Amino acid sequence: MNHGQVLCRVSEAQTARRRDRSRLVVLADLADVADDFAHPTLRAGRSEPPEGVAGLAGSPATGCTRLLPGGSGRPAQGLSMVHNSLQPKARPSQTSFASRAEMGCKLMPSVRLIDRATLHLSGEEAKPFLQNLVTADLDKLAPGEARPAALLTPQGKILFDFLVSLTPDGLRLDVAAGARGDLAKRLTLYKLRAKITIAPQDEAVAALWEDAPPEGALTDRRFPGEVYRLYGDAALGAGEDAESFERLRLSAGIAEAERDFPASDVFPHDVLLDQNEGVSFRKGCYVGQEVVSRMQHRGTARRRIMVLRAEGHLTPGAVVEAAGKTIGTVLSAHGSLGIGMIRIDKLADALRADQTLSADGVPLEAEVPAWAGYTLPEAAAPAEGEA
């Protein structure tokens, strides 16, 4: 091989190395473009992938993306070598049930709540009207949340409980479907000349948990964790995992009127509305306030919702006993998990005496819900002269 051939081979090798480096630069540039497209700031206002990334399917709002063959326009050279990890990052927080279904993604843990219905209060006086009637402080109600509240009898017992949230023109009440008509009638009695409209709404209601919420989801303030409420079109296509949501509700110690207890039978303290800001002790007057305030300041609440965990099947309505004495009732149950209305003073006495709790002969344990702040009463001090 002469000197000229050697120089030619060297030149060819250098050209090949430059070509390989150029390919690496192309791949790196594509990776940067894909990352930029996934970045929330750079992505703002961009509805389509940038030129050269047309083969990437799905928008930033979809819950899953996939690589399509071809795409609109010719992909940049080397795109077929880009790994799927360079696709635009998903934004599950804006993914609807319908979008996930269309994309073939796994459905979020959710359930359509067919036993719930909504009532809308609209008009300029809607909020002050309801503020003067219900237990919660609606001045603290923020967008993006659903707070518990109740309408009481003058004697301080719960007539209706519901979740209340803001709408563009007023308030939404999420209530047991069987109670919506009666709630509307009761509110109409208080309406008088208030400039409000009270109207039942034909909108779907759903619950979602253990996943990033889609756009329009409202945080359910009754739960300590990430549990959300969805309404209307956003709730369409929700799952059917009613059993999982029921276990979640029971394990959190969340009681609901109509499902767990009848109207006019319990005080707000009994079902822990004083623990989850369902009752305000600082706002002005509302129906039944005097009785509720007295219970709070005197510390006379003795019945409380507790989580029940049994060694066998629990039956709703069963009596909870300690050494043959009744201390409460099972309100609702799913298998060995349930919630009960328990006399906490009698429970404290039973625990101090090391007595076993049971319902229909099935041993069980009673727990204060993890998020609740109440405690069992301490033993009364012995009278003077007693040991």
pLDDT tens digits for range 126-155: 999 999 999 999 999 999 999 999 999 999
How many Cα atoms within 13 Å fall on the side-chain side of residue 189? 7
Distance of CA 290 to the CA centre of its chain: 31
Residue 38 has pLDDT above 90, yes or no: no
Residue 382 has pLDDT above 90, yes or no: no
How would you class 26 by CB atoms within 10 Å of its CB: exposed for 0-12, middle for 13-18, buried for 19 or more? middle
Residue 25 has pLDDT above 50, yes or no: no
Point out the least confidently predicted range of 92-96, 137-141, 164-168, 305-309.
92-96
Count of beta carbons in the 10 Å neighbourhood of residue 243: 11
The pLDDT value given to residue 287: 97
The pLDDT value given to residue 379: 63
Enumerate domains of the chain plus CATH numbers: 20-90 (no CATH), 110-252 (3.30.1360.120), 302-367 (2.40.30)
Average pLDDT over residues 354-377: 96
The pLDDT value given to residue 54: 39
Average pLDDT over residues 64-86: 38
Point out the least confidently predicted range of 47-61, 200-214, 287-301.
47-61
C-alpha span between 117 and 132 (Å, rounded):
23
Residue 70 has pLDDT above 80, yes or no: no
Average pLDDT over residues 250-279: 97
C-alpha span between 95 and 101 (Å, rounded):
10
Q: Report the first-to-last Cα separation within the chain, whole angstroms.
A: 115
pLDDT grade for 386, boundaries at 50, 70 and 90: very low
The pLDDT value given to residue 191: 94
The pLDDT value given to residue 63: 37
C-alpha span between 158 and 152 (Å, rounded):
4
Residue 74 has pLDDT above 50, yes or no: no
Name the average pLDDT for the chain. Answer: 81
pLDDT tens digits for range 95-130: 556 555 555 566 679 999 999 999 999 999 999 999
The pLDDT value given to residue 80: 37
Residue 229 has pLDDT above 70, yes or no: yes
Contact between 141 and 277 (Cβ < 8 Å): no
Average pLDDT over residues 26-50: 43
For the chain, what percent of residues have pLDDT higher than 70? Answer: 70
The pLDDT value given to residue 130: 98
The pLDDT value given to residue 380: 54
The strand pair at 66-67 and 158-167 is best described as unpaired
Q: Which residue has the higher pLDDT, 385 or 336?
A: 336
